[in-house]
Structure 1
């Protein structure tokens, strides 16, 4: 009897990867039927986000921008593929190794799923179904790869392959029952597994509730504002090519948050609970919110992760209920100084109470630029607070507000090294020309935006090659809570040039030249670009 041999390592790796894909496809389908957050890949990704140190998160946002979540999910899938390949290689000789490996894999997924906010026992079902499907697929593929051969009629030896047939190494599946590696059967089986995995994953994503919530959003009719924003003053937009428009279109508005999958919140079941250090805890439904006096306000939002000159800032016209009115209805107690707001996906942020109550248009927003909030931006309800970075104010998909104190509670980012309070710093940005642009000699326009919520921008200055500062002309603004466009004409001369900009707010504070990183409370420094003129 010949020496026992195993199928090639590449064959084991292939079976493991395909079995892993089937497991994830079935888990995706199960999550689509139960809850999108029950998909173990996303749950593990959320785990990674929560456990990652602040410098790593800053690197991800700085390097990958709004694609940071896609990169993270892709990285998780690559690791899963490598582990699945290893499981398949181990299972070549002993299928029990494959079953054990998939079970361990599933245990990690279960732990991640069941520790997410709002998880229930039912959320375990997609992972369990995926593990079972993966184990069945792995066993089936291994059997296809090494089918038992018929023995010779008298000798008990394997049937000889016809002359000229490609050699197939013998594999001992059981004493006296040799088997041969069958490349063709393995590849056709793997192809079928890939198709099954893709079909179940696609169906699961389709069932994840996206269409339901999108349909609910389309049906929302926003009531007219009881306190509408006045028409924008003439001259708010200088209409210069390449300059950020005064109103950022919804599709172009930046998105930075911790949600790997956008929460799908049905407005018919949404409620907002306000409790804690209040005299009268209240709970508000979406219909209740629509019946309250609505306020329109033009407000610029900025992310604390925005580097000097970065893209994570945008301006929109928001519609919502004043947060101050809701807090006064609940009766905030004198000792309270913080609102701990919670998103449907478990994210929290801490907002100073005095900022909400000082008269600014801090809103529980339901509308953005004349339509219901986009799902990516917090539908059905989010917070919008002028003058504070988003990480301490702009909770999307908000469902809970606890009135508390900063010395009793911490929000998501504070224990990760970020400041507890995040007032937006005065900043300015050059949009035109672009950095490293090649320009023609002669008159050209330098233009950009500047912001200093809730104070307002009073002046913007530009200088070239560290020469004298020159005052830029300013566009009109409806109030202190929006960014402001600026422009300056420059007679460009041949050569390489450095352009710098700085802004001064309405309180007379000029932004500092000193560069600081985004952590712990926002970047500072002058935006500087280099251009070449011919």
Structure 2
């Protein structure tokens, strides 16, 4: 921060001095005097720039040194992730529908959404890292990073969703995660009777909390160390984070994880509860149109309409599209590796010229139809149907 501020001040000062020098009227029309004036101007400018370099250079060096001191990039670069004891096969043909304007089924790490309370991502090297399991358990555990890598690791494709995601929003993504099962870890610790909340705590004190029942229902909740074939990116929780399908991230997806505590909802409120969010919030059935974009202009004829739909742990049975409030028509669904991921869908629209409303809804594998009733993300996630306007020419 300091070098950046110093650079901004220095640049501003330079501009002021240069502008004032240029604004001075020539002292004479004589060419020699004018040349001398220009030489004086260049000399003053050169002296100023040199002085600024002397001042800002050390500050920049300090900034680089501070950044190098606190970065975990070198530690991350040294990690060699072991092969999964339960590796996943490549995605089946037809999982990614390949429609132009529709993002890939697996979201690249660089494009994966990030929402957290940290102004700067915590830098946590693997050297000296420990994960402590404590609270209402029979045996406290303390695991190093190497201990976690030595466990039976599994790969799982899981879609994460942020509670702040608006209808049609982009705060959702799917990755192939590598980690150990949370239920196995807590079984070793021994969950005591009466414990009903699992709290994940970050190195910076941030907390998430979710029901113990989530750990016991067989879902693939992970203590994750890998994301899309590489160690977790620093911005996504390196070296260790939680990934729990079926719950919004604010409840469950603790990044830079350092503690797991078994407690009760009566005795502890995780970070967002005092700020108005619900203590418990399962993922809501949702769908989104990715292409065409809202207010896009398209040529009349067959127009591919495509997007994604999700309800992790339940799964999507059907997606339907309505044009101008008319009959709901079925879309084609891509394949999915499990009910813990979104599904891609596409619909071939015979588009006539004019302005048209295009709306999508999903139906889950329990038969529930996505609600049209609109609600905001606070307190437990947004609801409503995604609708766009398309101009057909």
Q: Same fold (TM over 0.5)?
A: yes
Q: Which residue, 186, 194, 198 being the options, matches 1:335?
A: 194
CA shift for structure 1 position 230: 3.5
Q: Which residue, 496, 499, 505 being the options, matches 2:358?
A: 499
Return closer, same or farther for 1:267/1:338 CA change in 2, 3 Å cut-off: same
1:328 alignment partner, SS class: helix
CA shift for structure 1 position 302: 0.5
Q: Which residue, 229, 236, 241 being the options, matches 1:382?
A: 241
> What is the distance in 2 between the residues matched to 1:382 and 1:446?
35
1:311 alignment partner, SS class: coil
Return closer, same or farther for 1:422/1:194 CA change in 2, 3 Å cut-off: farther
2:123 is equivalent to residue 264 of structure 1 = yes
2:361 alignment partner, SS class: strand
1:318-333 to structure 2, matched below 5 A, reads 318-333=177-192
> What is the distance in 2 between the residues matched to 1:357 and 1:190?
66
1:441-520 to structure 2, matched below 5 A, reads 441-520=300-379
Deviations for 1:143-189, whole angstroms, at most 9, x for unmatched residues? xxxxxxxxxxxxxxxxxxxxx9xxxxxxxxxxxxxxxxxxx99xx78
TM, length-normalised to structure 2: 0.87
2:171 is equivalent to residue 312 of structure 1 = yes
CA shift for structure 1 position 192: 4.2
1:224 alignment partner, SS class: coil
2:85 alignment partner, SS class: coil
CA contact (8 A) 2:323 2:356 kept: yes
Return closer, same or farther for 1:205/1:504 CA change in 2, 3 Å cut-off: farther
2:142 is equivalent to residue 283 of structure 1 = yes
Equivalence for 1:39: none
> What is the distance in 2 between the residues matched to 1:343 and 1:191?
45
Return closer, same or farther for 1:205/1:411 CA change in 2, 3 Å cut-off: farther
Q: What RMSD over aligned residues (CA atoms) do the two structures have, in Å? A: 2.5
1:207 alignment partner, SS class: helix
> What is the distance in 2 between the residues matched to 1:251 and 1:509?
34
CA shift for structure 1 position 351: 1.6
> What is the distance in 1 between the residues matched to 2:128 and 2:295?
51
Structure with higher helix content: 1
Q: Which residue, 273, 281, 291 being the options, matches 1:422?
A: 281
Equivalence for 1:239: 98
CA contact (8 A) 1:210 1:264 kept: no
Return closer, same or farther for 1:443/1:324 CA change in 2, 3 Å cut-off: same
Equivalence for 1:398: 257
Q: Which residue, 64, 77, 82 being the options, matches 1:218?
A: 77
Equivalence for 1:41: none
2:146 alignment partner, SS class: helix
Query: What count of residue pairs does the alignment treat as equivalent?
Result: 361
> What is the distance in 2 between the residues matched to 1:249 and 1:386?
18
Equivalence for 1:140: none
1:415 alignment partner, SS class: helix
> What is the distance in 2 between the residues matched to 1:199 and 1:529?
53
2:360 alignment partner, SS class: strand
2:232 is equivalent to residue 373 of structure 1 = yes
TM, length-normalised to structure 1: 0.64
CA shift for structure 1 position 194: 8.2
Which protein has the larger Cα radius of gyration, Structure 1 or Structure 2? 1
CA shift for structure 1 position 193: 6.3
CA contact (8 A) 1:244 1:449 kept: no
Return closer, same or farther for 1:474/1:334 CA change in 2, 3 Å cut-off: same
> What is the distance in 2 between the residues matched to 1:443 and 1:353?
49
CA shift for structure 1 position 229: 2.1
> Which structure's relative contact order is higher, taking Cα pairs within 8 Å and 6+ residues apart?
2
